[in-house]
Amino acid sequence: MALTRAIVLAACFSSFVTATFGAELQRSCIEPPATVIEMTGINTKHARATAKFTGPDIIKACHEGYVGQGSYGSPEECIRQTKADLLGDTIHAEANCSTGTMKLGQMSFKMPIENNCASGGILAAPAFKMLCPSYRGKVVNE
């Protein structure tokens, strides 16, 4: 019983720490980032992260200019519509830190990547660096 409680507390604490430090994943240049709620296997062949769109993610994005990326008349309209579209949705990322590959949502990448929106590299590079901080290869083409 004590071991189970310790495992549950450790899992809750690690999720809390992740959210506290503001780790995010983003799957599109036209959607706001989502808060990372779980990370496992950092620096391994099976490094994984899961992020979830939260109310604060959406509110922040709508007040920081996400409104201009849609046809919203006000931040309140953006918040209302974006919550209806995304609230509670998840984003999954998985990286192989040995081979320098990763999958972010439905997109696959091999490092080094281009750091732009068209290729998705601008979204994948920070996710890969978060999952594989000890990777010795080049992550982004300069």
> For 61-74, what is each residue's pLDDT tens digit?
888 876 556 677 88
Looking at residue 120, its amino acid is G
Give the C-alpha separation, 57 to 69, whole Å: 15
Model pTM score = 0.79
Write down the pLDDT at residue 21: 60
More confident residue, 95 or 66: 95
Which residue ranges make up each domain of the chain? 2-53+90-141, 54-87
Write down the pLDDT at residue 66: 65
> For 42-94, what is each residue's pLDDT tens digit?
999 999 999 999 999 999 988 887 655 667 788 899 899 999 999 999 999 99
3-state secondary structure 77-128: HHHHHHHHHHCCCEEEEEEECCCCEEEECCEEEECCEECCCCCCHHHHHHHH
